[in-house]
Amino acid sequence: MAASSRAQVLRLYRALLRESQRFSGYNYRTYAVRRIRDAFRENKNIEDSEKIEELLNKAKANLEVIRRQV
């Protein structure tokens, strides 16, 4: 993975975790954090740049959903 895409992934990961901490309900908050961590761990070994780009777009969409719900 190129350094720039790695940095982009880490930035997105941190943003997702930061936004999910803003959920007022404990159960929503812990569920969101667990799902984010599990998804990133599950996909950490992906090498295909097209697949990485697809997952990044999906994560960005999920970040927008979290921002709307918080």
Please state, for a pLDDT cut of 70, what percent of the chain lies above it.
99
Q: What is the pLDDT of residue 4?
A: 75
**Per-residue pLDDT at 13 exceeds 90:** yes
Backbone dihedral region of 30: left (phi > 0), alpha (psi from -120 to 50 degrees) or beta?
A: alpha
pLDDT tens for each residue of 31-43: 999 999 999 999 9
- 1 — pLDDT class (breaks 50, 70, 90): low
Q: What is the pLDDT of residue 18?
A: 97
**Region 37-55 average pLDDT:** 94
